[in-house]
């Protein structure tokens, strides 16, 4: 069995990952959850929509926005999100996640 590197800083150097985060109003959760791992555009750049962790959170509807991430670093081949998803994404405010690896 192969031994995988556990050095996270080395991993980040070899495989940089830039992630941003936003809050989504509950009314849009079912739509964005349906298109998890589809490509959207944020700040003019393609990014992978990551909403799969919502499945457990959506069971408790407290009415607040749910946080989710997008990743600008992803394997090619993911399908583009439909226009309805992009319209929702365009209304959200994203901010970089501190633990991501900045580009360059």
The tens-digit pLDDT sequence of the chain (104 residues) is: 556 656 666 656 666 789 999 999 989 999 999 999 999 999 999 999 999 888 765 656 667 889 999 999 988 899 999 999 999 999 999 999 986 555 54
SS3 68: strand
CA 28 from centroid of its chain's CA atoms = 15
Separation of alpha carbons 95 and 17, rounded Å: 14
Q: Is the pTM of this model over 0.85?
A: no
43 within some domain:
yes
93 within some domain:
yes
7 within some domain:
no
Surface-to-core class of residue 32, CB atoms within 10 Å of its CB (0-12 exposed, 13-18 middle, 19+ buried): buried
Give the domain range for residue 82.
29-59+76-97
């Amino acid at each position: 069995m192969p031994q995988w590197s556990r050095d996270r800083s080395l991993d980040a150097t070899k495989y940089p990952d830039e992630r941003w985060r936003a809050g989504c109003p509950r009314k849009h959760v079912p739509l964005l959850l349906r298109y998890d791992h589809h490509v959207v555009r944020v700040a003019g750049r393609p990014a992978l929509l990551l909403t799969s962790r919502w499945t457990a959170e959506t069971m408790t509807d407290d009415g607040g926005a749910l946080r989710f991430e997008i990743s600008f670093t992803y394997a090619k081949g993911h399908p583009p999100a439909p226009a309805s998803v992009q319209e929702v994404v365009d209304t959200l405010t994203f901010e970089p996640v501190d633990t991501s690896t900045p580009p360059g």
